[in-house]
Amino acid sequence: MNESVRKAADILSALADVGRDASAREIGVLLDLPKSTVQRLLQALEQSGLVRQDSASRRYGLGPMTLTLGMSYLDRIDVRSQALPHMMRLRDDLDETIALAVRVGHSRVYVEQVESRSGLKAKAEVGRPYPLWAGAAGRVLLASLSREELIRFTLDVGDAAFTHVTPPTLNGLLAQIEETRRRGYAWAFEEAMRGVHTVAAPIPISMSEVAALSVSGPSTWFDESRMKDATGPLMDAARAISSSMGYTNPLPSPGKMA
């Protein structure tokens, strides 16, 4: 990849990760790049609409073109249309928020979501990148990688990326991924979002890719007992979506849940 293109992509990823406007200096510190380099690339990205600069603060944020590109990407993901009817039925059965995520680089992106009708609900932001190493959906997506891909991923993100999740070590994450492969699903307790518990299962969408189907609820309500009750229906829905796309979902039977 051209070095300038890679740095420009890193800038866009950094702006997505911080979730707020940032100065050229702040972005340079995050990416270990000279401020002059960041400023030059930001100006080029601004001309294309990929970033925009606030006239008062002089800080930069993602521009409208990123939404256009993101929506175009979402429109090309066939699993959304196949999954939505199953997601709605699962929401109606469990009255919890149901979400569908895919892997994009080192992040997971929610491409569809059906919210709980309850006043107590937990939801993610569709289209926003979330760290792939945190949360049940992230572990489900990581569990689909080969050993070589997983090693490369952990080398790329570095040990520092794992300090805010439980367990707070790289080896702990690898152990969780292995457990996810064994069970065929993953649980997370307030990892990606405070006050939210999540159960996730994989949906094969091609010979080498999976999506993650998840059920999330407030930790005050969606406790271990309700998570266990939700896991079987979740896995059934994941199998049904996979089957509708012509793939066999290699999930353990719900009766074998640990």
DSSP states of the chain: --HHHHHHHHHHHHHHHH-S-B-HHHHHHHHT--HHHHHHHHHHHHHTTSEEE-TTT--EEE-HHHHHHHHHHHHT-HHHHHHHHHHHHHHHHH-SEEEEEEEETTEEEEEEEE--SSSS-----TT-EEETTSSHHHHHHHTTS-HHHHHHHHHHH-GGGGTTSSS-SHHHHHHHHHHHHHHS-EEEESSSSTTEEEEEEEEE-SSS-EEEEEEEEETTTS-HHHHHHHHHHHHHHHHHHHHHTT----PPPGGG--
pLDDT of residue 119: 65
pLDDT of residue 192: 78
Asked if the peptide bond before residue 167 counts as cis, ω within 30 degrees of 0, the response is yes
CB 51 within 8 Å of CB 45:
yes
Is this structure's pTM higher than 0.75?
no
CB 97 within 8 Å of CB 113:
yes
The amino acid that residue 167 corresponds to is: P
pLDDT of residue 23: 92
77-256 carries CATH number 3.40.50.2000: no
Length of the chain: 258
pLDDT of residue 232: 95
pLDDT of residue 167: 67
Q: Sort 165 into a burial class: Cβ within 10 Å, 0-12 / 13-18 / 19+.
A: buried
pLDDT of residue 105: 78
pLDDT of residue 250: 54
- Measured CA to CA, the distance from residue 166 to residue 154 in angstroms comes to 16
Q: Please, where in the chain does CATH 3.30.450.40 lie?
A: 77-256
pLDDT of residue 255: 41
- CATH number of this structure's domain 3-69: 1.10.10.10
CB 134 within 8 Å of CB 165:
yes
**What distances in angstroms separate CA 85 from CA 102, 174, 241, one per listed residue?**
18, 33, 9
Number of C-beta neighbours around residue 29 at 10 A: 14
pLDDT of residue 228: 95
CA dihedral 118, 231, 166, 107 (to 10 degrees): -80
Q: Spell out, as residue ranges, where the chain has pLDDT lower than 70.
A: 1, 19, 70-77, 119-121, 160, 166-168, 207, 248-258
